[in-house]
Structure 1
């Protein structure tokens, strides 16, 4: 089995502000906002939703297949993915563009301010789900049995959801930071096409407001709606019931960048392997906890056995 990961490949420039944004931003002066944050430390990481999700799924010994667009500066990233034995055959390189770039500033409370240049990501609609399926069939590779549409170019997200539905491939719709690009009717249409819907609690509120439906009502339109709630765990709405997923206490709170993607890597692995929602949600929760204890979205390097040991310690049973 293989999972198609549709989404962004990006370089993350991560900066740490040794204060709190709330102390620097005056609420009554928002209309003339002009602030600068001194960031003594800065580093560049491999990121982007598709790259991060694929990395975490690979840690669990899943088989991620990335479909994305990158710029002429992507060679170091592509080489890294190949070293990790992640399929890069469906990553399109556009030489005249930059790979997407995220400039992320994190404060002492783990709040983040991000500036994002989409670059080649805006051309993600050039990729076609049918091309991936045909190529894998020709090579006699494992067929795509599951997919996720994560934040990407607007046209790419829209078309890939429709293409996956047409190909009858179940997929998770993960609008994430791309949610504001769609209006209420569009979000409802994409939700109707999806098998699963994954959002964080803030995105869930925005989704409810735009569609006019409660989370419980949205959950009725998919096989499952997964809402992550940070340190409070997650909630899964499925089959007319709501399942609470407990958080896993992290060894350290270092960097939240990519925690949601780590969670989604766990979701895909659970779905690939037919786990029940209680187990799938707990594995996803653990992956987010492991990630937050490391700098950058792809620097946690646990073996599958180590992940299984941590899972058993946290929950008292194995997967």
Structure 2
């Protein structure tokens, strides 16, 4: 299965604040916030949801196609992605704008305050998905990740028109999308990804009940952090997959992207959704233990060991033969 990943390409500036944001926020002064946090650490890393998911898919042995927009400063980043196995030929390079920037501060309780500058991402709407399909010789599934909203809608429409399966992952863009736009992104998706908060926001924006959403998608996957993942499908009993535990959580940034990559890799290998979700949970935990969204060490033996501990030897043995391409 060939997977195209559409979504943001960005540079991440990740900072760590040793205190608690809550201690500085006054409930009766939230309409006039003026705060400055002295941080202990700054890490500049490559990121963006489209690039993160593509990177992880490539590390698992697949050959994903990254579809997004970046600036003229993307050359070194592109070379790094290509070396890992990501096809970057469908990335549009802006003549005038910088690659997007994500600036995020995390406190000691893993709460985050973040700002995102779109930059060249705004030009993603000019990308023609049909041209990507022609250049690559065919795409089997397109993940519609957080990106320029018009690009997300255009790619969704194009994928459906081309008969390509869609994995809808509106994520952070749910906050700025209108109801009709969200309905267009969701309707007809083979997979729908949300976290717990986004699931509630999705229902609010679409005006659809859970049943009405399930009537329009194949599988709805919702992540609950340390509480694991739920998979629900119309007419079937819900499945719940526990998270892979860790005592060494360093930075939550990028864990959701890693989960999606693990899940989609499992699907690409023909594994069932629950087994794919277990792989996604194991990969997400590895990312949680690293600073940066693409800086983690990935070993097949480590993935298998984590799955043995979390789900038992039999479940790990089912996925182990598919990890030969891990690098």
TM-score (norm 2): 0.93
Q: Which residue is 1:129 aligned to?
A: 129
1:1-319 equivalences under 5 Å are: 1-137=1-137, 143-240=138-235, 241-316=237-312, 317=315, 318=317, 319=319
The offset of 1:244, in angstroms, is: 0.7
Between 1:27-36 and 1:210-219, the stretch displaced more is 210-219
Distance 1:149 1:99 in 2: 19
Spell out, residue by residue over 1:175-209, the C-alpha distance to the aligned partner (whole angstroms, 9 max, x if none). Answer: 00111222222212221132211010011111111
Gaps of 5+ in 2: 320-327
Distance 1:80 1:182 in 2: 32
Would the aligned equivalents of 1:255 and 1:295 in 2 still touch at CA under 8 Å? Answer: yes
Distance 2:247 2:61 in 1: 23
The offset of 1:251, in angstroms, is: 4.6
Between 1:149-158 and 1:266-275, the stretch displaced more is 266-275
Distance 2:220 2:77 in 1: 32
SS of 2:231's equivalent in the other structure is strand
Q: Looking at secondary structure, tell me which structure has more strand per residue.
A: 1
Equivalent pairs, count? 314
Q: Residues 295 and 216 (structure 1 numbering): CA distance in 2 closer, same or farther, change over 3 Å? A: farther
TM-score (norm 1): 0.95
Spell out, residue by residue over 1:248-275, the C-alpha distance to the aligned partner (whole angstroms, 9 max, x if none). Answer: 1025110000010001001211211121
Distance 1:189 1:163 in 2: 12
Spell out, residue by residue over 1:101-127, the C-alpha distance to the aligned partner (whole angstroms, 9 max, x if none). Answer: 000010001111111100000110111
Q: Residues 127 and 188 (structure 1 numbering): CA distance in 2 closer, same or farther, change over 3 Å? A: same
Between 1:232-241 and 1:92-101, the stretch displaced more is 232-241
SS of 2:298's equivalent in the other structure is coil
Backbone CA RMSD of aligned residues:
1.3
SS of 2:140's equivalent in the other structure is strand
